[in-house]
Structure 1
């Protein structure tokens, strides 16, 4: 666990939290990605105990409550995000327990407790992928499901310049990086798809499904032209990687 990077990212998220209120939350997995309504990766949620890694403003947990889960647990690095999530989840039917903590540590989450752990566009913030996956594996009951989404590692390897899509960095280069689309300094992690898959397998997960599909809007494409997640770039490389796995 890299304490310096975690501290830097926490400070960045305290500033950015308001900007990301309700963004990229279930049933959405990420920009231009298929919805859970179409993928059905989570299955029947009625009565399940679920844990959100990087729960943000709590909107994915709110979605879970609407689907009838029994317990809502969440973990996020940002104090501001946890504060907002408490407000968003103040009227849920399910029991709520939220932790302000880096995902590399266990702040008191019970072991072998959850049928489902998920992470929506958050896993790439970890400073130790293996430790984070080991934690998640320990939280799940045998046979439990882990689903995560993150920016596809190919997507940031391309730049869009004056209508041209150009390769700016090798896909094979892994490690920490300061994302150019982030407004304050923050360090994310670049991993190949195979690195995610092999890390899951070595931790004790079975891969159930890998999703790289892109769903582009049929109308109003121009509004995405100048954003990081543009239709033009998404026609070249997928924006979002989604992996479903189960605990062996």
Structure 2
């Protein structure tokens, strides 16, 4: 399976994904993953940035609101259409473009920084994508991205709960068995019962070990600068109880690396 085939799956999921995420059902993104990402993001005021795999543009808009000049790309036509419609209604001077992260249509040394929110793990040609990101960055420019944590996003994973329904452990297995396009079906866990009849998202999975990820980053020409594993506070979990399991293990890994 290549990036174009994966893009077709995302295009089929894009409309439902956009509707549900904008309705507030992507709780892990809105109240854990994205806030933690921006906590470690360097100052981007006045910088020229590229958002890779932007989806419907939620995080892209947050980048623009930080004062950056953003170009955003996604392989899904539906996602880009949704993002452009929002840009028309609420202009932030974001330039959206349908293209693959594996074939960036930009010259070398174009951008001061790049971001990728939970997108690089969904592209089979990871090495090529990271090399392309490095190519279009200026010298000393940085790439910051988030992925599902390789140590805990394994082919086998089971949430173990006590009698009160609280997670006390996550059972993982087959860590060294890389999935390469296996189709995963799932949905947002916070949907009301009236929406449980919605079709599940069907997404190809590509898993790699932590060492494979780090070595691919280095081989692409980056120097790793910071790692972060977000964990919600007790106050956040009190407000959003479904996030309690992400206090037990790290669901996400944030990496910032810089072009040498």
What is the distance in 2 between the residues matched to 1:134 and 1:22? 35
Query: C-alpha deviations, 1:98-131, integer Å up to 9, x for none?
Result: 111232222x233311001001111111111011
Which residues of 2 match residues 95-134 of structure 1 at below 5 A?
96-106=94-104, 108-134=105-131
- What's the counterpart of residue 210 of structure 1? 227
Q: Which residue of 2 aligns with 1:4?
A: 5
Residues 1:185 and 2:202 aligned together:
yes
Q: How does 1:1-248 map to 2 (within 5 A)?
A: 2=2, 3-21=4-22, 31=32, 35-36=36-37, 38-39=39-40, 41=41, 43-69=42-68, 71-90=69-88, 91-94=90-93, 96-106=94-104, 108-157=105-154, 158-163=157-162, 165-176=169-180, 177-182=182-187, 183-218=200-235, 221=238, 223-225=240-242, 230-232=243-245, 234-248=246-260
- Give the alignment's TM-score, normalised by structure 2: 0.78
Q: CA deviation at 1:34?
A: 5.8
More helix by share: 2
CA distance in 1, matches of 2:119, 2:25: 10
- The alpha-carbon deviation at position 189 of structure 1 amounts to 1.3
CA 1:6/1:58 → structure 2, altered by over 3 Å: closer, same or farther? closer
Q: Which runs of 5+ in 1 are unaligned?
A: none
Secondary structure of 1:155's aligned partner: coil
Shift, 1:76, TM fit:
1.0
Distance 1:215-1:237 versus aligned 2 partners, 3 A rule: same
Q: Structure 1: how far apart are the matches of 2:118 and 2:31?
A: 7
1:220 Cα offset (Å): 5.3
The answer to whether the 8 A contact 2:10-2:203 is kept is yes
Cα shift readout 1:217-247 (whole Å, capped 9, x = no counterpart): 426548544xxxx413x23320110000001
Superposed displacement of residue 145, structure 1: 0.5
User: Conserved in 2, the CA contact under 8 Å of 1:31 and 1:240?
Assistant: no
Instruction: Give the match's secondary structure for 1:241.
Output: strand
Rounded to whole Å, the distance in 1 between the matches of 2:24 and 2:177 is 29
Q: Distance in 2 between matches of 1:167 and 1:46?
A: 42
CA distance in 2, matches of 1:49, 1:141: 10
Q: TM-score normalized by structure 1? A: 0.82
What is the root-mean-square deviation of aligned Cα atoms in Å? 2.8
